[in-house]
Structure 1
Amino acid sequence: MTDRHLSALAAALDEELPAAAALRRRIHARPCLSGAEAPTRDLVLAALPAGSTTKVAGTGAVVRIGGPGPAVAVRAELDALAVTEKTGAAWTSEHPGLMHACGHDVHLAALTALARAVDRTGGPAPLLAVLQPREETYPSGARAIVEDGILDREQCRSVIGAHVQPLLPAGTVACTPGGVNASSDEFTVTVHGRSGHAAYPHLTRDPVVTLAHLVVALQSLVSRGTDPMSHVVLSVTTLTAGTAANVLPATAQARGTLRALGTGDRDTLHTRLAEVCALVAQAHGCTAEVDLTRGEPVLDNDAALTAATRPLLGSLGLRIGDDLRSAGSDDFSFFCAQLPSLMLFVGTHGGTEQLHSPTFLPPDERIRDIAHAMLAGYLAAAELHT
């Protein structure tokens, strides 16, 4: 059954690619930030085949293609980034300061082509096209969709995602079991001291010097506090303090991110972060307040779904690359925590470009690769759950 559906759907999908490329360019030219994606959602909905449509997560939607029964969800993201585009494309962003710099325009076009092919040709299971908002920021759109219960109501059995990856050569797909993206948490540390004249530091409690020591101390949480074989990242990314050169301020603040591929490492870092901040601040006569925002969990690809998808990728002419794991994060992980799910990474540039760059612009040909990767995952999931 899978072979029959594979050849028919692949042929139908390829016929949809010119329209998908035109849709991609319209989406790219009109980027919308997280939480304001309704125009993008409506643009995609107009291109999708008629189906049972449910608005979800504020500016998202779920469209069922096919009849009743257990379904396979395929997800694409709606939101763009606050990046000023520098690609020089004829269809460059019409919204100053906003850009599809993460490939979401490609994902949406590919999902539309797949949905239209399934609608025309039929498939082994109903397809649930998930148009997800707020992948790039909190609160997570994937988490909102899971908590809404729509996947349960639609009898969803698996979720498939595919993401462009410029570190991989074009035509290559990483189909990796287990944890492939790290958990992602954000922290803000506020040091409270005593302000005063900069010429009389002995009469103050200097939060700036305290914060400087704190930043250095936090680096030891990874280098000396976790197993060297673990995949853990702690990065301090912003520092804020003071308004005048001759005044020591009352507070100083640092923000940053924590990434881990293991749940145990994640919990350990949370505990040790609070302890180190409190003790370093105390040593300098100050206090420290830590605000920790828990983000995405580890993105954990289902082993059986991964194994079933790999041969189908080869049948579609895609090369299976080496396993790819990174400290990057994606809220697709909330789907993985709910259902057997699979995120595929599809090559675009082979390391000559980066995601979130103002020059990131995969060619339209990559729509086919993403759509075929989605097709392989969809068929594998349908086969597993039949």
Structure 2
Amino acid sequence: MAGKDADYADVVEWRRDIHAHPELQFEVHRTAALVAAKLTEFGCDEVVAGIGKTGVVGIIHGQKRTSGKVIALRADMDALPIEEETGAAWTSTTKGVMHACGHDGHTAMLLGSARELAQTREFNGTAVVVFQPAEEGGGGGKAMLDDGLMDRFGIDEIYAMHTEPALAIGQFATTIGPFGASVDSFKIRIDGKGAHGAEPQDGIDPLVVGANILLALQTIVSRNVHPRQCAVVTVGWLNAGKAGNVIPQFAEMGGTTRTFDPIVRNLIEARVFAIAEKVAEAYGAKATVSYKRMFPPLVNHALETAFAVRTARLLVGDGNVNDTVEPVMGSEDFAFMLETRPGNMMQIGNGGGAGLHEAAFDFNDDAIPFGIAYFKNVVEARLPF
């Protein structure tokens, strides 16, 4: 495992530089340029930029290539629209933007692994390092797929890591099957009839209609989804009117849905439409639903996850790897990649502190040697020399 030497200090420097210069969604131009420059410096056989708009791919051939296999490692590069409150010396220099989800650490660790793999090349096949933009809601993973990521580079399997504050430094966690939820969003507009607040009989109150739709949506999980399935339907906002003595003409609400099962996902979407439209109709109003499918469930493949667990256990010991961790209702657009190729998403310990997407979160640099070693070992173990 990489120790805390000069190489480690380099990776920390890269991580903190990326942290200090966060970028959103697909606008990761500085970060992508840094990544491409480092991969070229390391001697990668090929460096390709502009995959999925601003994604970067590096190709590293092993000393032998007779296996014909290609293993990919993926990291995400984008930050979040949050004002940083860490107080770190490397705090964000961009107002209202920060790395609150560890993507700075993911990128730095994969760069560290790429450097070591390019130096040693003690594997039989090809390693592909994938640096993705726009994980935070932008669908950057899908954009890279749409640009031919898997077929263009002949990828057979793909592996990723995500930092986890609830795990100690040197610990890993994953599970076979569903690991992250799908995420969809919806918006409902209720058109009623405006009236004076003192004469409600002359109007059709869209707020009353909206309130009843909101409550009815909460029956989807409790009365339509099987009790052994997991699902969430959340209404996050409801807007209407500006004056207390006026019944407004319309109201709008929006929310999110989450599940691990494609069948349940279809059911929820259908029920959102049916409930909104029929409840509104019962009150003489009209509901218009806009429903957007964003990310599918993240589902780890069985054989590749078992391999990832063995690799992590050889690195840190059996007691430091949980292979049956509970799935999370959060989403991760690595799910798109796992729909097209077998692979695994692994959590790596961040050693406590603030939670993900919090203004006080900072990636723990003590995790870097473990992440570098894990990524490197995945390639070397999957492509034995």
- TM-score normalized with structure 1 length: 0.92
What do the CA deviations read for 1:87-124 (whole angstroms, capped 9, x no partner)? 01001000010000000000000000000000000042
Gap change, CA 1:225 and 1:219, over 3 Å in 2:
same
Partner Cα separation in structure 2 for residue 73 and residue 191 of structure 1: 47
Partner of residue 62 from structure 1, selected from 52, 57, 65 = 57
Bigger mean CA offset, 90-99 vs 124-133: 124-133
Partner Cα separation in structure 1 for residue 151 and residue 8 of structure 2: 31
What do the CA deviations read for 1:233-277 (whole angstroms, capped 9, x no partner)? 111112121233332222111111111011111111111111111
CA contact under 8 A between 1:160 and 1:378: conserved in structure 2?
no
Partner Cα separation in structure 1 for residue 382 and residue 221 of structure 2: 38
CA contact under 8 A between 1:158 and 1:381: conserved in structure 2?
no
Q: Percent identity?
A: 35
2:357 maps to 1:356? yes
Alignment of 1:334-345 (within 5 A): 334-345=336-347
Q: Cα offset for 1:12?
A: 8.8
Q: Which runs of 5+ in 1 are unaligned?
A: 1-9
CA contact under 8 A between 2:116 and 2:376: conserved in structure 1?
no
Tell me which residue corresponds to 2:47: 53
What do the CA deviations read for 1:175-231 (whole angstroms, capped 9, x no partner)? 311110011111111111112222221111111111111111111101111111111
Partner Cα separation in structure 2 for residue 180 and residue 163 of structure 1: 12
Gap change, CA 1:85 and 1:112, over 3 Å in 2:
same
Tell me which residue corresponds to 2:30: 39
Q: Name the aligned partner's letter for residue 19 of structure 1.
A: D
Partner of residue 329 from structure 1, selected from 303, 307, 331 = 331
Tell me which residue corresponds to 2:12: 21
Partner Cα separation in structure 2 for residue 279 and residue 361 of structure 1: 47
Gap change, CA 1:185 and 1:104, over 3 Å in 2:
same
Partner Cα separation in structure 2 for residue 180 and residue 15 of structure 1: 36
Tell me which residue corresponds to 2:79: 80
CA contact under 8 A between 1:192 and 1:251: conserved in structure 2?
yes
2:178 maps to 1:196? no
Counterpart of 2:47 in 1: which secondary structure?
strand
Tell me which residue corresponds to 2:129: 129
Alignment of 1:55-204 (within 5 A): 55-66=50-61, 69-124=68-123, 125-138=125-138, 140-204=139-203
Query: Cα RMSD between the aligned structures?
Result: 1.8
Partner Cα separation in structure 1 for residue 288 and residue 370 of structure 2: 47
Q: Which runs of 5+ in 2 are unaligned?
A: none
What do the CA deviations read for 1:296-315 (whole angstroms, capped 9, x no partner)? 11111111011122222122
Tell me which residue corresponds to 1:263: 262
CA contact under 8 A between 1:57 and 1:145: conserved in structure 2?
yes
Tell me which residue corresponds to 1:228: 227
Q: Name the aligned partner's letter for residue 383 of structure 2.
A: A
Alignment of 1:366-385 (within 5 A): 366-382=367-383
Gap change, CA 1:270 and 1:381, over 3 Å in 2:
farther
Partner Cα separation in structure 1 for residue 365 and residue 338 of structure 2: 29
Q: Name the aligned partner's letter for residue 23 of structure 1.
A: W
Tell me which residue corresponds to 1:347: 349
Q: Cα offset for 1:150?
A: 2.5
Partner Cα separation in structure 2 for residue 70 and residue 152 of structure 1: 13
- Number of corresponding residues: 373
CA contact under 8 A between 1:313 and 1:372: conserved in structure 2?
no
CA contact under 8 A between 2:185 and 2:291: conserved in structure 1?
yes
Q: Name the aligned partner's letter for residue 231 of structure 2.
A: V
Tell me which residue corresponds to 1:6: none
Q: Name the aligned partner's letter for residue 70 of structure 2.
A: A
Counterpart of 2:12 in 1: which secondary structure?
helix
Tell me which residue corresponds to 1:5: none
Counterpart of 1:72 in 2: which secondary structure?
strand
Gap change, CA 1:13 and 1:89, over 3 Å in 2:
closer
- TM-score normalized with structure 2 length: 0.92
Bigger mean CA offset, 70-79 vs 333-342: 70-79
